[in-house]
Amino acid sequence: MNILVTGAAGYIGSHAVKALLSAGHRVVALDNLSRGHRVSIADDAHFVELDVRDTAAVLGVLRAEHIECVMHFAAFAYVGESVENPLLYYDNNTGGTLSLLRAVEQSECRRLVFSSTCATYGEPDSMPIREETAQNPINPYGASKLFSERMIRELSRKLPSFSCALLRYFNVAGVAADGTLGEHHDPETHLIPVVLQAALGVREKVVVFGDDYPTPDGTCIRDYIHVEDLVEAHIAVMEALRPGDLRVYNLGIGRGYSVKEILDAARSVVRRPFTVETGPRRPGDPPVLFADASRVSREIGWKAKRTDISATIESAWRWFQTHPMGYRD
């Protein structure tokens, strides 16, 4: 299948490109490189440096490359940044999706897999989070993704042959098992890379944002899904789509780990000291988020395989030891 991956130079996008190529698909990798890393895109993919908000150019790619499916990852994903600069997120995330959908509508492509987020749920009243849980985002990042979901639903109503999937997931962690890909954000805010960089001396300390949440140990609880499980789920869902489908799935391991549990697991992996300090809560951080992923298991047979958090941290630790500054190394 000819597949366009947007945000292909990002953490998840680059792993998706790798997995799609391994599965025998032809991949066109699109990224504007504003936050991604060109070196992370496999040489076997056809790279196009382009902003997804350029509708005419995206349409040209869809037509010229005979694209049959789009995997749409291109987005900004810092909750704190979205609170400080909400219009940036509506412009890039929501506007980018609108541009892409306009291009898809005018093309022959009729299959879309959308990278959404658990942030669309806000602060649910109960756990685990199911697909039917009310979506009430509490930050602009989550809202920008929810608006994107709504636009995709509208296009699916307009085009009977269009098939799409909205995949909502939680904290993504780990790296490619063969060591060819890693995780590099600038700035880095994901907990596990921050901890590993502190253990390597790349950063001074780990700051725990709040220890007074209504959780057993006072720190936030999240569902950590391994990036390779995540992209395998995207491929499984893509292959299951049939004309007219609108599928909504949560992707996760079905349980949460607290920040303190992650710190303890990291200590057991790295076996070296690192400094931890407690800071104030971050705006827009719900106390607990973890998924009920039973629907995707029931309907297409996908289930996370890499659920041991220590093993996930260990995979990242191997990469960071040789890439302490990320892809800059």
Task: Give me the amino acid identity at 189.
Answer: T
What pLDDT does residue 101 have? 98
pLDDT at residue 117 greater than cutoff 90: yes
pLDDT tens digit sequence for 66-79 = 999 999 999 999 98
Q: Which CATH architecture has domain 2-172+226-251?
A: 3-Layer(aba) Sandwich (3.40)
Residues recorded for the chain: 329
**CA max distance for the chain:** 57
* Torsion of Cα atoms, 104 then 105 then 107 then 108, to 10°: 100
What pLDDT does residue 236 have? 98
Average pLDDT score, the chain: 96
141 in catalytic set: yes
What pLDDT does residue 125 have? 86
Domain segments of the chain as ranges: 2-172+226-251, 191-222+254-328
What pLDDT does residue 328 have? 86
What pLDDT does residue 167 have? 98
Direct distance between the N- and C-terminal alpha carbons of the chain, in angstroms, rounded to an integer = 34
Buried b (16+ CB within 10 A) or exposed e, 104-130: beebebbbbbbbbbbbbbbebeebbbe
Partners of 2 in the beta sheet? 26
pLDDT grade, residue 36 (50/70/90)?
Answer: very high
Q: Which of 89, 121, 141, 249 is catalytic?
A: 141
What pLDDT does residue 284 have? 67
pLDDT tens digit sequence for 87-113 = 999 999 999 999 999 999 999 999 999
pLDDT tens digit sequence for 260-299 = 999 999 999 999 999 999 999 977 677 888 999 999 999 9
| Residue 204 φ/ψ, nearest 5 degrees | -70, -40
Which of 240, 196, 237, 189 lies closest to 71, judged by CA? 237
- Determine how many CB atoms are found less than 10 A away from the CB of residue 190: 17
Three-class SS string for 182-247?
A: CCCCCCCCCHHHHHHHHHHCCCCCEEEECCCCCCCCCCCEECEEEHHHHHHHHHHHHHHCCCCCEE
Average of per-residue pLDDT across 223-235: 97
Q: What CA–CA distance (Å, rounded) separates 74 from 13?
A: 8
pLDDT at residue 81 greater than cutoff 70: yes
Residues ≥6 apart with Cβ < 8 Å to 26: 1, 2, 3, 46
Task: Give me the amino acid identity at 221.
Answer: I
What pLDDT does residue 282 have? 79
Share of the chain above pLDDT 70, in %: 100
User: In which residue are the tokens 């697909």 written?
Assistant: 131
Q: What CA–CA distance (Å, rounded) separates 236 from 64?
A: 26
Average of per-residue pLDDT across 127-146: 96
| Cβ contact 279:111 at 8 Å | no
Average of per-residue pLDDT across 218-224: 95
Average of per-residue pLDDT across 194-198: 97
Within the chain, strands assigned E span 2-6, 26-31, 46-49, 69-72, 111-117, 163-169, 171-173, 206-209, 221-222, 224-226, 246-251, 257-258, 276-279, 288-289
Q: Is 0.85 surpassed by the pTM of this model?
A: yes
Which CATH number fits the domain 191-222+254-328, given the four candidates 3.40.50.300, 3.40.50.720, 2.60.40.10, 3.90.25.10? 3.90.25.10
Q: What CA–CA distance (Å, rounded) separates 54 from 100?
A: 8
pLDDT at residue 303 greater than cutoff 90: yes
What pLDDT does residue 45 have? 98
